[in-house]
């Protein structure tokens, strides 16, 4: 009888352990989802509904999706996808999205289907017109897609810094202004980074760190047009520091390591250095930076961060690690907590 009671008690403890494990996994899954890049945080969608409003519904006439396609060391790409719904096979259809600003020419992306079924995607600005992008018609839906960055001829004015354009969506003769400015687009001020990385910065700049298997990647976005150069300083508690100097307008990037008594350049250890359009500065370093006399393992160190422009310090933060997120640590915590809980039970 006593043996049966012990077996029953053990079974209950096992069930409780697995119940808690399920709860921990569920919580951890939610945390991981918040720290992962996905289409939802990289995109923004606007709609033209059948009632003429800009409210997304089951009866949309047209939608415009804006998606960022980030590539390290390059200016971010923006992908625009237009869709027209409930389009009959023999129907002629035109859907458009336009970027408008008073006193300036509109930037118009047009998606067209003829009554015979042929399609095209086109871009227009004033007298400039270019057939560009992909288009097709499938099962009553008309699709057009354009992918471009700031160096392409079809791009609207700098969408990373400038939010002053309104957005209008068209379905044939029907029109709705879906946004008074472009501040909600994920490309504006590179705000998609907040979904995908631990972001350091303020309204003037954003700085991210990302570790791969072999290197640390640094990416700095600067949103002011004031001609400033930027200095990023990473200071350890022992006084050892890395200092990166980004000269946005002379296309130069330098790095020094110092500890008070010693300081020297380690420019030769910089990799994938890029300065793009006076607003993005990106580079990579090995995990360990320095030489036999003085070095820092930047992959494991904890730093105080300071960012300066030509006027002075614009940002400080303590306890910074050069990683893009913390969900791996949270995963480890889940497993440890589960093990301890089962021992207690």
pLDDT in tens, 274-319: 998 888 999 999 999 998 889 999 999 999 999 999 889 999 999 9
pLDDT: which is higher, 169 or 73:
169
Q: Give mean pLDDT, residues 107-118.
A: 97
Q: Which domains does the chain have, with CATH numbers?
A: 39-188 (no CATH), 197-328 (2.60.40)
Phi/psi at 125 (nearest 5 deg)? -145, 110
Spatial separation of the C-alpha atoms in residues 101 and 103, rounded to whole Å: 6
Read off the pLDDT band of 16 (50, 70, 90). Answer: low
pLDDT tens track for 124-154: 999 999 999 999 999 999 999 999 988 888 8
305 vs 343, higher pLDDT:
305
203: left (phi over 0), alpha (psi -120 to 50) or beta: alpha
**Could you give the angle at which helices 2-34 and 327-344 cross, rounded to 10 degrees?**
170
Q: What is the pLDDT of residue 298?
A: 94
Statement: residue 223 has pLDDT above 80? yes
Average pLDDT across the chain, whole number: 84
Q: For residues 32 and 26, what is the distance between their CA atoms, to the nearest angstrom?
A: 10
Cβ(218)–Cβ(243) under 8 Å? no
Give residue 31's pLDDT: 38
Q: Looking at residue 42, what is its pLDDT? A: 85
- pLDDT score at 314: 93
Check residue 35 and give its pLDDT: 43
By C-alpha distance, which of 322, 333, 317 is closest to 32?
333
The confidence band for 46, taking pLDDT boundaries of 50, 70 and 90, is very high
Average pLDDT of the segment spanning 19-48: 58
């Amino acid at each position: 009888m006593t043996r049966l009671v012990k077996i029953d008690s053990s079974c209950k403890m096992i069930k409780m352990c697995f119940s808690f494990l399920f709860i921990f996994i569920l919580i951890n899954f939610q945390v991981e989802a918040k720290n992962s890049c996905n289409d939802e945080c990289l995109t923004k969608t606007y709609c033209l509904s059948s009632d003429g409003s800009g409210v997304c519904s089951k009866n949309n006439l047209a939608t415009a999706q804006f998606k960022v396609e980030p590539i390290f060391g390059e200016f971010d790409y923006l992908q625009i996808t237009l869709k027209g719904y409930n389009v009959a096979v023999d129907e002629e259809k035109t859907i458009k999205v336009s970027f408008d600003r008073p006193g300036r020419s509109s930037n118009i992306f047009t998606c067209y289907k003829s009554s015979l079924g042929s399609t095209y995607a086109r871009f227009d600005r004033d007298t400039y017109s270019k057939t560009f992008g992909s288009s097709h018609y499938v099962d009553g839906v008309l699709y057009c897609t354009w992918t471009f960055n700031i160096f392409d001829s079809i791009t609207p004015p700098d969408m990373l810094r400038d939010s002053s354009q309104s957005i209008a969506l068209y379905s044939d003769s029907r029109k709705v202004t879906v946004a008074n400015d472009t501040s909600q687009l994920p490309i504006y001020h590179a705000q998609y980074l907040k979904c995908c990385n631990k972001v350091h910065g303020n309204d003037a700049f954003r700085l991210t760190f990302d570790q791969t298997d072999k290197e640390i990647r640094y990416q700095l976005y600067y949103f002011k047009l004031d001609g400033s150069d930027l200095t990023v300083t990473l200071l350890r508690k022992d006084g050892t520091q890395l200092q990166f100097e980004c000269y946005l307008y002379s296309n130069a990037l330098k790095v020094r390591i110092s500890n008070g008594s010693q300081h020297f350049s380690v420019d030769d250890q910089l990799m994938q250095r890029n300065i793009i359009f006076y607003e993005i500065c990106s580079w990579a370093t090995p995990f360990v930076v320095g030489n036999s006399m003085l070095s820092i393992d930047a992959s494991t160190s904890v730093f105080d961060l300071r960012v300066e422009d030509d006027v002075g310090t614009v940002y400080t933060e303590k306890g910074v690690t050069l990683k893009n997120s913390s969900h791996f640590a949270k995963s480890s915590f889940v497993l440890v907590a589960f093990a301890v809980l089962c021992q207690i039970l």
